[in-house]
Amino acid sequence: MRVFLVLLAVVAALLGMAWLGGETLLARRAATFIASDPLIDARAVTPLRQIDRIGLGLTDASVATAAGTAQFPALALWAEPSRPNRFHATLPPTMTLPVAGRMQEVAATNADLSARLSPLHSMALTGAAVKSGPVTISGAPALAGIDVTTELVKLGNQAPRAARSAYAVTADVSGLMPGAFAAGVAPDGGAVLAQPVGARGVARVYLDRAFVPGATEPPQLQGLQSDGLTLTLGDLSARVLGRVERDEAGFASGTIYVYTADARAFLDAAAAAGLLPAGAVPLANTMLTNLADQPGAEAMPPADTRTSRASEQIQVQTRPAGPPEPQPGELRLPVEFRNGKASVGGLPIGNAPRLG
């Protein structure tokens, strides 16, 4: 037993020396890389020296971007020994970032960014996360909290034809203050929502290829799908579900359903922010009420009545399920995108958005 314990001690010592030596070598190489890159700078690059992680500590680091130079008093870049392909960036409590067109002091509580890469698939991104507690910008509340994770998942049989990868995005964002991010953009008092915005739910993003950090061209968006994403504005809430995909011209094609019991209150909030004339609120509310509960194209029954009973049964089995019924007091607004145009309940409202 004593010999066994001695051997364990020797192995632990060797591993410790390799760990310390590995971090030291990593710090030296990182310092050399930073010195040769005009977009990145740091006053000091040191080994992290923490037992549960291996990585680097950067002091007075800066990163040049198109919007300005982000400055970090301290920055930790690390990975767990048991998960060496997941990389973390632990942000300092305060930093200077380009926000809304100018450099501003940003304070964040326990902010952490992470990314998981696959060395066997050209370093493709297989997972990512953004987490933080309360955030302020120039002293003004900007965000109560954010927890967004992204995971590479199987395509599934409902994927758009041109899709080659899919990411499941789980979001929990609360207390987002649009005014904090719009400061400096609309100094003339332009339209800015004064109430906090939030989002919670799961969505799926379809791309034509997996995302690879540093690639020359980013992947192209092929479709979006959600079985329920709750959006909030102050005490108001709306649930969004549906699916759109990229058509041959690059426009969104599909149907999104919006469920809410606060339609009039949303219109009042839009008017208060200057996004809608106050006098138009009653008319807009009446129009939304009249357009609600109209079935989308996917839920319409086939018009051909000449088919046999057997073929009708096959059509019923293969037809996509319609959207859930609205709750009592709730409106269901179908927003349809087709042939480059958008409509609500069959009423044209403009052009469909482009996907990529």
pLDDT class for 289, splitting at 50, 70, 90? confident
Q: In the predicted model, is pLDDT for residue 259 greater than 80? A: yes
DSSP 188-206: TT-----S-EEEEEEEEEE
pTM for the model stands at 0.80
Q: Which ranges of the chain would DSSP assign to H, the alpha helix?
A: 2-36, 178-182, 263-272, 281-291, 309-318
CA distance 89 to 332: 42
Q: Which ranges of 38-78 would DSSP assign to H, the alpha helix?
A: none
> Which residues, other chains included, contact 145 with Cβ-Cβ below 8 Å and sequence gap of 6+?
132, 133, 134, 172, 173, 174, 175
Main-chain phi, psi angles of 293, to 5 degrees: 65, 15
Q: What is the pLDDT of residues 13-52, one digit of tens each?
A: 544 555 556 778 878 888 888 888 888 999 999 988 888 8
CA distance 135 to 109: 7
CA distance 105 to 135: 10
Beta strands per DSSP E along 40-134: 40-41, 44-47, 54-65, 68-80, 83-90, 94-99, 102-108, 112-118, 124-132
Main-chain phi, psi angles of 102, to 5 degrees: -150, 160
Q: What is the pLDDT of residues 190-234, one digit of tens each?
A: 567 788 999 999 999 999 999 988 788 889 999 999 989 999 999
Q: What is the pLDDT of residues 126-160, one digit of tens each?
A: 999 999 999 999 999 999 999 999 999 999 888 99
